[in-house]
Amino acid sequence: MSGALSAPIANYVALSGILFFLGVTGVLLRRNPLIMLMSIELMFNAANLLLVAFARLWTQNVGQIFAFLSITVAAAEAAIGLAIVVVVFRSARHVDVDETNLMKG
């Protein structure tokens, strides 16, 4: 591998932005909480991609380590989110987020 990046850093920023907005769109438009959680994973991955790309640009592995920490936080988030989905399904017998108003005041 040569010293330069294989593509300009702006390309990585643009790709990460597009993927992040796809994740936001999924969270906003879908009513299935599982697909909303998957869209959150898409957003996590977009941020990780940017961290890794900038770590490569500066050849400092701190960015990679932060992306690694972000992966573990995403794992914890997915576990807790899925546990909440299971609890909601157990009590309400449906998984529609528009129908779920248990904590509405």
Partner 1 sequence: MILFWILSILLIATAVWTITASKPVYSVVGLLAHFVALAVLYLSLSAEFLAVMQIIVYSGAILVLFVFVIALLSSGVAPFSVGPNRLPKALVPVMGIVIIAFGMLIYAVSRTSMPAPTGQTLGPVGSAGVFGSVADFGRALFTTQLLPFEVTAFILMVAVIGVVLLAGDAMESSGSAAQAKQVHREMREAILREGDR
18-77 binders of partner 1 (CB under 8 A): 18-19, 21-23, 25-26, 28-32, 34-35, 37-39, 41-42, 45, 48-49, 52-53, 55-62, 64-69, 71-77
Q: What is the dihedral of CA 98, 78, 41, 5, to 10 degrees?
A: 170
Chosen residue from 6, 102, 104, 105 binding partner 1 by CB under 8 A: 6
The verdict on 15 binding partner 1 (CB under 8 A) reads yes
What is the b/e burial string over 58-87, where b = at least 16 CB atoms within 10 angstroms of the residue's CB? eeeeebeebbeeeeeebeeeeeebeeebee
87 binding partner 1? (CB under 8 A): yes
Residue 27 token pair:
């969270």
Q: Which is nearer to partner 1, 66 or 101 (CB)?
A: 66
Least distance in Å: CB of 104 to partner 1?
17
Q: What is the maximal distance between C-alpha atoms in the chain?
A: 59
